[in-house]
């Protein structure tokens, strides 16, 4: 069972992508649902709002515990921010889980009106000659990646897809395309 944090963002699109890849997926809104999951997707949205909702729905401590137990997690956009070690340009009460050794700057690619798509070459995809169309919406910029972080794709010299151990994060929204290769890459890493 793969959970998708369903507090905000395009969580339903992640569920659909995981199911197209053959996984059983469920929306997670409660601690007991999180406990049923072998892995978790943390979707995009607004990271400070998501952090408040995690507290409201009593998911903060269970998520911290599952991360400490090495639960595999795929964070996209705001999910990347939530999983990063450091966050700049956040609110004073902004926090993150420190699950991957990266520092990110919130909304570094601009406002909603500055959203864009770009074709990426991504290491480890099953069809490397076929680019992955990445959708960037108020995306975070990775300013620092630790030595243990594997950078799988970059835009203008900045990492936009990173992995460390069982944590995969992207600055962009793979769920907004019909290309499920990143969801499949995540699923393959937890098999």
Residues assigned a catalytic role: 77, 173, 175
N-to-C CA span, the chain: 12
Closest alpha carbon to 143 in 82, 89, 76, 78: 89
Opening angle at CA 175, ends 172 and 177, nearest 5 = 95
Opening angle at CA 83, ends 168 and 129, nearest 5 = 25
The Cα–Cα gap between 76 and 104 comes to 13
């Amino acid at each position: 069972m793969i959970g998708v944090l369903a507090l905000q963002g395009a969580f339903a699109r992640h569920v659909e992508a995981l199911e197209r890849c053959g996984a059983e997926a469920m929306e997670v809104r409660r601690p007991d649902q999180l406990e049923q999951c072998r892995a978790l997707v943390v979707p995009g949205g607004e990271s400070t709002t998501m952090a408040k909702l995690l507290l409201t729905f009593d998911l903060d401590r269970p998520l911290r515990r599952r991360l400490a137990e090495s639960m595999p997690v795929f964070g996209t956009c705001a999910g990347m921010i939530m999983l990063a070690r450091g966050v700049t340009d956040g609110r004073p009460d902004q926090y993150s889980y420190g699950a991957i050794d990266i520092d990110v700057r919130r909304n570094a690619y601009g406002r909603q009106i500055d959203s864009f798509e770009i074709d990426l070459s991504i290491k480890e995809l099953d069809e490397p000659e076929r680019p992955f169309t990445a959708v960037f919406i108020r995306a975070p910029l990775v300013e620092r990646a630790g030595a243990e972080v594997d950078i799988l794709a970059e835009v203008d010299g900045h990492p936009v897809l990173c992995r460390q151990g069982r944590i995969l994060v992207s600055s962009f929204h793979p769920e907004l395309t019909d290309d499920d290769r990143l969801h499949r890459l995540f699923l393959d890493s937890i098999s």
